[in-house]
Amino acid sequence: MAVRNILGIGAGYVGGPTMAVMAARCPDLRIEVADIDEERVRAWQSGRPPIYEPGLDEVLRRGLGRNLSFTSDLPAAIRRAEMIFVSVNTPTKVFGQGMGMAADLQHWEATARTIRAHAPGPRIVVEKSTVPVRTAEAMDQILNEEGTRRFEVLSNPEFLAEGTAIRDLEEPDRVLIGSAETPAGQAAAAELVDIYARWVPRERILTMNVWSSELSKLAANAFLAQRVSSINAIAELCEISGARIGEVARAVGMDRRIGPRFLEAGVGFGGSCFRKDVLNLVYLCRHSGLTEAADYWHSVVRFNDHHQARFAAGIVSQMFNTLVGKRIALFGFAFKADTGDTRDSPAIRIARALVEERARLVITDPQALENARRELADLADRIEFTDDPCEAARGAHAIVVVTGWRQFAELDYGRILATMERPAFLFDGRNLLDAERMFSLGFNVVPIGSPPRLHFE
Ligand code: UDX
């Protein structure tokens, strides 16, 4: 019998948008989303989601009151569901074995136990959170511990990127469905294929074994993170050699085998996935005795750490080796534009380094101020926050662009400069602004991946 009632557990950046798009694309399915955080549930249910994601509000409203609802009563929702998607967070462990590397699976396991306790009959459990390889197998063992096989565990990793989540969900490059290589496993996979096939072309839906599916997700993110570290490594060389990163990236990206996307040099990667997933891969390799493979992937993260520290150090050295008492405006705190998410944002490290140098920091961001305040709560008395970038720059010695928000590119920098201290610096960590134009306005411009433009030697 075809699945009709679906439950998504976890209403975060992945679970919320994923279930909202599924509800919009499958009006005949009844979709519930459960989360333990009642406030978050209320926000989603009221049509004002707790996360910022372009296009989400509209998709959400289409589903609410029709076939989409949110609840904090997990046991009741489990009883009603035939297929259960799990999108709970799996952060990097901050304690014990594998600390700082391995994924913390406590929420996943607790969820599996709750499902086992409340599901009255056979269920399909779909692993959506990014997890270490072989997690599905462990979940299978927990869920089916009573002997009778009541649960099929599928791996269906999510590839959405924040800021473009709705488009990524509506038109995914591919959908992966990993299952046990048994008739029951394949039947469960077929049920999930049927759901996606309502809006995704069949040839983009790939079925495979669970381990391939789990590993493909880690591998894809590792390749992407590696690309960012690669272009940033070349950018460092550009800065001292007279080459320009924009020109090099264009030339490299025109090779069809390489392609032009994801070649923007900047302040390094951030976000909830890249560091976590690459470290997960490193842990997996090391644990399996593949030392060289582990070291290879580890260098992607190590380079990123170095690159961020180098950016902050460059601010100090350009500004005559002292920031004491200087007002510095941080333009952006989100880990990238079009999101309010600040998890592992390069801004965190940069802000802390500048405060350490005793700068007076002012942070502005169109979506991430609340998260920024939380992230830097321990420095509250040393940092100002404002949603007005012009206000942030008033009286400042430097502007540091950390997030590539389009709004920042549209400001009147001539007027801004008139309110700043001289000499005024612009550290453009995203190459968002035209360096030549900013230089001719009077800024001392320090871009990423091309030599600085200074009004003094
Ligand atoms: C990523 C993956 O893209 C997505 O498939 C996966 O499901 C989750 O992880 P996300 O973390 O939302 O998505 O952001 P993404 O757009 O991939 O950017 C990651 C980081 O790399 C950001 O900090 C971004 O600023 C940086 N980046 C990206 C660059 O510095 N240069 C680039 O060219 C691209």
- Whether 107 and 214 map to the same domain: the answer is no
Ligand 1 geometric centre to CA of 301 (Å): 14
Residue 101 located in a structural domain: yes
Measured CA angle at 391 (ends 389, 395), to 5 deg:
115
Sheet containing 383-385: give its strands across: 383-385, 360-364, 327-331, 398-401, 425-428, 444-447
**Last-in-domain residue among 150, 180, 200:** 200
Residue with CA at minimum distance from ligand 1 atom 20: 269
Is any ligand 1 atom within 6 A of the Cβ of residue 172? no
Q: Which of 26, 273, 285, 390 is catalytic?
A: 273
Is any ligand 1 atom within 6 A of the Cβ of residue 162? yes
346: preceding bond cis by omega (within 30 degrees): no
Q: What are phi and psi of 15, to 5 degrees?
A: -60, -45
Residue 105 located in a structural domain: yes
CA–CA dist 27, 57 (Å, integer): 17
Is any ligand 1 atom within 6 A of the Cβ of residue 264? yes
Ligand 1 geometric centre to CA of 176 (Å): 19
Look at the chain and report how many structural domains it folds into: 2
Ligand 1 geometric centre to CA of 416 (Å): 30
Closest-lying ligand 1 atom to the alpha carbon of residue 273: 9
**Last-in-domain residue among 156, 179, 200:** 200
- Whether 357 and 376 map to the same domain: the answer is yes
- Whether 361 and 417 map to the same domain: the answer is yes
- Whether 214 and 192 map to the same domain: the answer is no
Q: Which residues pair with 345 in a beta bridge?
A: none
**pLDDT computed for residue 239 by the predictor:** 95
- Whether 81 and 106 map to the same domain: the answer is yes
Which of 131, 274, 402, 430 maximizes ligand 1 atoms within 8 Å of its Cβ, making it the mutation to test the pocket? 274
Q: What is the dihedral angle through the alpha carbons of 293, 294, 296, 298, rounded to the nearest 10 degrees?
A: 160
Is any ligand 1 atom within 6 A of the Cβ of residue 85? no
- Whether 148 and 86 map to the same domain: the answer is yes
- pLDDT tens, N- to C-terminus, the chain (457 residues): 688 999 999 999 999 999 999 999 999 999 999 999 999 999 999 999 999 899 999 999 999 989 999 999 999 999 999 999 999 888 888 888 888 887 888 888 899 999 999 999 889 999 998 777 778 888 888 889 877 778 999 999 999 999 999 999 999 999 999 999 999 999 999 999 999 999 999 999 999 999 999 999 999 999 999 999 999 999 999 999 989 999 999 999 999 999 999 999 999 999 999 999 999 999 999 999 999 999 999 999 999 999 999 999 999 999 999 999 999 999 999 999 999 999 999 999 999 999 999 999 999 999 999 999 999 999 999 999 999 999 999 999 999 999 999 999 999 999 999 999 999 999 999 999 999 999 999 999 999 999 999 998 7
Residue 205 located in a structural domain: no
Residue with CA at minimum distance from ligand 1 atom 5: 159
Is any ligand 1 atom within 6 A of the Cβ of residue 273? yes
Helix ranges restricted to H, 81-209? 106-118, 135-143, 165-170, 183-196
- Whether 188 and 217 map to the same domain: the answer is no
What's the half-sphere exposure (Cβ side, CA atoms, 13 Å) at 197? 11
Containing structural domain, residue 95:
5-200
**Last-in-domain residue among 200, 218, 245:** 200
Ligand 1 geometric centre to CA of 118 (Å): 37
Ligand 1 geometric centre to CA of 78 (Å): 33
- Whether 155 and 243 map to the same domain: the answer is no
Closest-lying ligand 1 atom to the alpha carbon of residue 168: 5
Residue 189 located in a structural domain: yes
**pLDDT computed for residue 1 by the predictor:** 62
Residue 344 located in a structural domain: yes
- Whether 181 and 252 map to the same domain: the answer is no
**pLDDT computed for residue 270 by the predictor:** 98
- Whether 245 and 102 map to the same domain: the answer is no
For residue 87, what is the domain's CATH number? Answer: 3.40.50.720
Residue 366 located in a structural domain: yes
Q: What are phi and psi of 109, to 5 degrees?
A: -70, -40
Residue with CA at minimum distance from ligand 1 atom 16: 161
Residue with CA at minimum distance from ligand 1 atom 2: 161
Residue 238 annotated as catalytic: no
Ligand 1 geometric centre to CA of 227 (Å): 10
- Whether 325 and 250 map to the same domain: the answer is yes
Pair of tokens at residue 427: 């550290």
Is any ligand 1 atom within 6 A of the Cβ of residue 267? no
- Whether 156 and 251 map to the same domain: the answer is no
359-385 b/e with 16+ CB inside 10 Å = b? Answer: bbbbbbbbbbbebbeebbeeeeeebeb
